[in-house]
């Protein structure tokens, strides 16, 4: 999660990274099928992580299974 702010120094915008809350799927409010689609996308990237990394893709935040 991100928080955006404004600094008094030349109007620079500040970005603060906030801790991500633990949520269950039942806590997420999205139209039907959207969460499933997101989960499939993330799993798809994880399944191809070796190939994506070899191709120079940045996979920040992606955790590989041991």
Q: How many Å is the Cα radius of gyration of the chain? A: 17
Q: Comparing 46 with 59, which gets the higher pLDDT?
A: 46
- Does the pLDDT value for residue 66 go beyond 50? no
Which sequence spans correspond to the domains of the chain? Answer: 23-60
pLDDT of 65 > 70? The answer is no
Q: Which residues of 43-65 are buried (b: 16+ CB within 10 A; e: fewer)?
A: eeeeeebeeeeeeeeeeeeeeee
What is residue 63's predicted lDDT score, i.e. its pLDDT? 47
> For residue range 8-24, what is the model confidence (pLDDT) as tens digits?
766 666 788 888 888 89
């Amino acid at each position: 999660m991100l928080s955006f702010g404004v600094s008094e120094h030349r109007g620079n915008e500040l970005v603060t990274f906030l801790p991500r809350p633990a949520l269950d799927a039942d806590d997420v409010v999205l139209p039907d099928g959207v969460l499933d689609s997101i989960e499939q996308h993330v799993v798809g990237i994880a399944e191809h992580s070796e190939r994506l990394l070899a191709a120079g893709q940045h996979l920040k935040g992606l955790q590989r299974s041991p």
